[in-house]
Amino acid sequence: MSIRELMSAADMTAALERMAGEILADFSVSELAIVGIHTGGVHLATRLHRLLCERGGAADIPIGSLDITLYRDDWSTIAPNPVVRQTDVDFPVTDYHLILVDDVIFTGRTIRAALDAVMDYGRPRSIRLAVLVDRGGRELPVQPDYTGLEIDMPYDRELVDVQLVEKDGCDRVVVSLPEERRKGDR
Within-domain flag for 59: yes
Q: How confident is the model at residue 73 (pLDDT cuts 50, 70, 90)?
A: low
Q: What is the pLDDT of residue 25?
A: 97
**Residue percentage of the chain with pLDDT more than 90:** 70
Give me the CATH number covering residue 131: 3.40.50.2020
Q: What is the pLDDT of residue 181?
A: 43
Within-domain flag for 183: no
Q: Say how far apart CA 168 and CA 21 lie, in whole Å.
A: 27
* Conformational region of residue 3, where left means phi above 0, alpha means psi within -120 to 50, and beta covers everything else: beta
- Amino acid 176 reads S
Domain count, the chain: 1
For 91-148, how does the pLDDT look when each residue is reduced to its tens digit (9 = 90+)?
Answer: 999 989 999 999 999 999 999 999 999 999 999 999 999 999 999 989 999 999 999 9
Model pTM? Answer: 0.89
Residues in a beta bridge with 159: 176
Show the domain range for 121. Answer: 10-155
Within-domain flag for 20: yes
Q: In whole angstroms, how large is the CA radius of gyration of the chain?
A: 16
Within-domain flag for 167: no
